[in-house]
Amino acid sequence: MSTHAQPTTVRGTAGPNAGHENKEVGQDRKAKTQGRWAATLILPTVIVLGIVIVYPVVNAIIMSFQQDEGLDPVTGSFVAGGFAGVANYVHWLFQQCPAPDGGTTACSPGSLGAQFWSAMGTTFFFTVVTVVLETVLGFWMAIIMARTFKGRSALRAAVLVPWAIPTAVTAKLWFFIFAFDGIANKLFGTAILWTGSEGPARTAIIIADVWKTTPFMALLILAGLQMIPAEVYEAAKVDGASAWQRFTQITLPLVKPALMVAILFRVLDALRMYDLPAIMTGGANGTTTLSILVVDQIRQGFNSAAALSTITFLVIFLVAFIFVRFLGANAVQSATGPGKGKGK
């Protein structure tokens, strides 16, 4: 953008006399008014972010230290619970539930509190397995799509279809496919109860998730692949590098920034997986993820749910931090522009 355009607009707002002033003073004031002007322009965004992000987060954290409403045994109506300290966090992390005598006791199976660690395990299991599968398959699809051949654009469009379908619809489709009388069993001539026990239920969800999100990985990786200049490959060929060497020595290192960002996005997405297990199994048979647990808890008490979502938030934050800090997923710096690659 031309720097000459800005003073005009700034002076225009500063008043008709602005143009007559000493040049140095003008520079000074320009910087000042420009700063103010910039702040004014940014303000709406800050306010919106404050309303949609800061307020709910702060409110959730405040709520997480309040006790859920309890029932007054005499009147039979609910009364506010008051300050709870860290009781809600203890409830989840140590699986302690209220006991009839007023104290706490280990949560019984069938209560949400008893499911925290298993839900955490399930969530990470799904995250690791689906992201690994999606990365490998996505890479493979991206390499095919990067080649020049007839019908390439048709293939690229076709690959996008699963990603374009809303997840809830996808989940319902796979729900019918994996029903006992569904296509999956008919096709393979099996009689598996896909949603009836842990192994098959998890497999079914992983298949559905990989089907849906591999195109997303493929497209992000494809974008990375297309940044690599063809000359590098030609030079390597001249030097006698094999196809495998070209892949490991050129493609992988050069595509890594794009790949890490893609993996980061997928990991964060997978950690809050909700719709697929919620619709396909309803969380039965070891498929309850943290998000499903949060939504279930919302119906049983907001404050406890706020504590749980704060824990989920911290977990996701930690994972994102590790990715960005130690594994070099450069989502931040490339987003801020010229600083790209500076930190290395």
Using CB under 8 A, which residues numbered 237 to 256 contact other proteins? none
77 near other proteins, judged by CB under 8 A: yes
Q: Out of 226, 339, 340, 341, which residue is the one contacting other proteins (CB under 8 A)? A: 339
Q: Out of 137, 143, 250, 298, which residue is the one contacting other proteins (CB under 8 A)? A: 298
Amino acid at site 141: M
**CA distance readout (Å), 92 to 112, 283, 309, 319:** 9, 18, 11, 20
CB of 264 to other proteins, least distance (A): 9
- Stretch touching other proteins by CB under 8 A, among 123-131, 221-229, 255-263, 265-273: 265-273
Contact between residue 159 and residue 236 where contact means Cβ atoms under 8 Å apart? no
207 near other proteins, judged by CB under 8 A: no
Amino acid at site 189: G
Q: Out of 47, 48, 53, 128, which residue is the one contacting other proteins (CB under 8 A)? A: 53
Amino acid at site 320: A
Phi, psi of 79 (to 5 degrees): -125, 150
56 near other proteins, judged by CB under 8 A: yes
Considering only residues 88-127, where is the footprint of other proteins by CB under 8 A? 97-100, 102, 105, 107-112, 114
Contact between residue 116 and residue 293 where contact means Cβ atoms under 8 Å apart? yes
Instruction: Name the residue among 67, 255, 56, 46 with its Cα closest to residue 143.
Output: 255
- Stretch touching other proteins by CB under 8 A, among 33-41, 66-74, 128-136, 232-240: 66-74
Phi, psi of 306 (to 5 degrees): -65, -40
Of 117 and 140, nearer to other proteins (C-beta) is 117
3-state DSSP assignment of residue 95: coil
Q: Out of 136, 157, 252, 314, which residue is the one contacting other proteins (CB under 8 A)? A: 314
Considering only residues 5-34, where is the footprint of other proteins by CB under 8 A? none
CB of 66 to other proteins, least distance (A): 6
Contact between residue 273 and residue 209 where contact means Cβ atoms under 8 Å apart? yes
CB of 54 to other proteins, least distance (A): 8
**What is the contact mask toward other proteins in residues 155 to 194, using x (rule: CB under 8 A)?**
------------------------xxx-----------x-
Task: Say if strands 96-98 and 104-106 run parallel, antiparallel, or are unpaired.
Answer: antiparallel
Per DSSP, what are the bridge partners of residue 71?
78
Residue 109 DSSP class? B
CB of 160 to other proteins, least distance (A): 24
**262 token code pair:** 């893609």
How many residues bind to other proteins according to rule CB under 8 A?
80
